[in-house]
Structure 1
Amino acid sequence: MEARDQLIGGGALVRSALEKLAHAKHTLDNATYTTATGNAFDSATGQLAVLVGWLAYDSDLHPVARRCYADALALASEADDQDLIVHTCLYAANQSIALARLGEGRPHHALKLIDRARTLVRGRPPGRIHALIAGREAQAQGVLGDRKEFERAIATAWRELEHAIDYEPLEECPQWLRFVARSEIRGHEARGYADTGEIRKGLDLLDASAQKERGTRNAANDRAWAAATYARSGDVCAAVAVGTPVLAELENVASYRTLRVLEPVRRTEHPAAEEFRERFDALVGAIRRETA
């Protein structure tokens, strides 16, 4: 499902993924197994719940995503799986930060989840987990508008990533952390600078991130952020020029998360954005039908 998500987006997968999660939970409740097997099954189902939560988040199904993350935390507690708790906290924090940017959540909640993850991994050797925790904190501080704390956190994220690259071979890294690369931290940095008022610096970094991003889907998300940032700065023509190719990609990849990033371009009252608005609205309808 992770591989297919990169190709076709969460909206095309979320319904079948929820069915798989329901089947796994039903099996846990009704099967007979040893304690060791039960704990392993709890952990595996919890990892599945985090992935399904991500797909729901990508599909703008936020209450569903929260339920999946709650399931994952409960299963992690049953299995005494600290890595699963960390994994879930960081994905749930990402959702809280995204909602806070839309005025629908609080970054303080994300910071609590990030602190819990940090406490659980304190003392571990250099690795991508430390970079991701610092990157998530930088995201939250950026949304709060705290320039000093954002810059401190993003500097820590870069330092931890460089240590991880030196000391943690990618093949030894947990699968769910392998996306933590320079392009990922650069994207957090770009959005954080835009959030704290340094629009030009944020745009330059977003452009660099989109060009160096390994995954087409993540590069599209970076370009969507660049388009939205241009729209907020008042440069409508640049916003439409950057955002229109993203709409074309979203016609093949069902990601309402990325589409919502483009809402500032959609709200622009300018003749240059008329065709963009029409295509945007058509995509909203198509994705909603697919996830209904």
Structure 2
Amino acid sequence: MIVEKWTATEVKALRKAALRLSQEELHEVIGFQTSTIQKWEQRASLDRPVVGRSAEALDTVLANLSAAQLQRFCAALDAAQSTTAGHPVPSSNEDPIDATPHRPRAGELGLYAWEVDDDVKRREFGTLATMGLVAMLAGEQNRLDAGDVRRLLTGVDALEVEDQRSGGAGLVDFAVEQLALAKHKLDTCSYDEAVGDAFASATGHLAVMAGWLAYDADRHPLARRLYSDALALGTESNDNDLLAHTCLYSANQSIALSRAGIGSPYHALKLIRRARDLMRGRPPGRIHALVAVREAQAQGMVGDRVAFGRALATAWREMDSAAHYEPLEQCPQWLRFVTHSEIAGHEARGYGDLGETTRSVALYAAAADQQSSVRNSLHLSAWSAASRIQLRDINGAVGEGLPVLKKLATISSVRTLRVLEPVRHSVGQSASGDEFRHLFDALTEKAIAS
């Protein structure tokens, strides 16, 4: 990647996002005084960029970035140049997502066409086009560059934003198609080593996002395949962040399958330990909070109260540290959901797994009130309603679950619908549960049809 002009934006993206260095530490790397670096970051502009030997030194540092560092640099530039409500959006000069819907043809997907044809249902693409979620990558292309990395990362962020708005079930097919296209480009396009690794890493993050969407749609075999893709791409690009990201999301799926009686919490613990090892030495913050809360979830399923409490205490401590020292806007997009309310929700679920249902229901109510995301609040309310069934509070379960069903008419999450199955079973054919039963059955039929 070549930076034509080093402005304050590029210098700060290189130092803070790519290298994660202080100004004093960057001084040790490139030899220029800290005061000079401060001047670059305060005054350099398109009209008065960094030039001469200074620019050459920055060029050298940029050329030696690893794939993960280059990916962070591109993402930081994109966010700095064009940001709305904290999320990167297309700039006026270059659209990270194509302006018109593009549906990949089988030939464009190469060896990966079978993944789309055999495993992905295609009924939702028209809906996606109306949402404005269109193709992340150009169809005809022979060489990849840093702009393609940025477009793909921006597309992954856009998918995450849309998932929070409308749920994952309607987005899976689109994400898998784009993943197949990205993998095909890795196989067939030309690129230099740094861009190739960065694009492989970005493709891996798309695979994790697609896996999450498949998990939310209750399509577990597909989710597992996508997480396997992400692990392979993380290994290929030597990106420990991607590997840890994948391990933690895959562990979450294993824990959910354990609750359904078809998975193992010990498999989840294995993945969590690998993520912890990969992130060892990182400063306190959200990544450690997520590792700890995943461990608490798994230990709750194992039934180890001591280990559950220890992991939960670590999660709260790391979350408190993150709240003070790790601004949300400086976090990767995939870690921004890690908040105090997220920890509280998993605490409630963990006590439920350990059999402390009354305590669990009380904690769910408090956690749902703290949630800033309507989608996450709905999921917690669904769990709370299901927990009330264990207390034989059918009326309370219906009263809490019915608003969730009404919202699920517009937020497509089969995962959340499945949580409410105990409530549906308990209302049976009783007249008091008519509305709940009709809504639940209608949504279930819709999920099966799609």
Alignment map for 1:52-201 (pairs within 5 Å): 52-201=210-359
Alignment map for 1:204-283 (pairs within 5 Å): 204-270=362-428, 271=430, 272-283=432-443
Aligned letter for 2:325? Y
Does residue 34 (structure 1) correspond to residue 218 (structure 2)? The answer is: no
After superposition, the CA RMSD in angstroms is 1.0
* 2:447 aligned partner: 287
Alpha-carbon separation, structure 2, partners of 1:146 and 1:80: 34
Q: Determine if contact 2:394/2:427 at 8 Å carries over to the other structure.
A: no
Gaps of 5+ in 2: 1-158
Alpha-carbon separation, structure 1, partners of 2:168 and 2:312: 28
Aligned letter for 2:352? A
- Structure with the bigger RCO (C-alpha within 8 Å, sep 6+) is 1
Gaps of 5+ in 1: none
2:355 alignment partner, SS class: coil
1:16 alignment partner, SS class: helix
Q: CA deviation at 1:269?
A: 4.7
1:267 alignment partner, SS class: helix
Structure whose residues are more often helix by fraction: 1
Q: CA deviation at 1:275?
A: 3.3
Percent identical pairs in the alignment equals 58
Using the size of structure 1 for normalisation, the TM-score is 0.97
Q: Determine if contact 2:424/2:436 at 8 Å carries over to the other structure.
A: yes
1:32 alignment partner, SS class: coil
Larger radius of gyration: 2
Using the size of structure 2 for normalisation, the TM-score is 0.63
Aligned letter for 1:54? W
Q: Determine if contact 1:143/1:196 at 8 Å carries over to the other structure.
A: yes
Q: CA deviation at 1:33?
A: 1.1
Q: CA deviation at 1:36?
A: 1.0
Q: CA deviation at 1:289?
A: 2.2
Aligned letter for 1:273? G
Alpha-carbon separation, structure 2, partners of 1:289 and 1:149: 42
Aligned letter for 1:15? D
Alpha-carbon separation, structure 2, partners of 1:131 and 1:223: 23
Q: Determine if contact 1:236/1:273 at 8 Å carries over to the other structure.
A: no
Alpha-carbon separation, structure 1, partners of 2:260 and 2:440: 18
Aligned letter for 2:425? R
Alpha-carbon separation, structure 1, partners of 2:359 and 2:208: 33
1:33 alignment partner, SS class: coil
Q: Determine if contact 2:285/2:321 at 8 Å carries over to the other structure.
A: yes
Q: CA deviation at 1:274?
A: 4.0
Q: Determine if contact 1:232/1:264 at 8 Å carries over to the other structure.
A: no
Aligned letter for 1:243? G
Aligned letter for 2:295? E
1:214 alignment partner, SS class: coil
Alpha-carbon separation, structure 2, partners of 1:232 and 1:263: 13
Q: CA deviation at 1:287?
A: 2.0
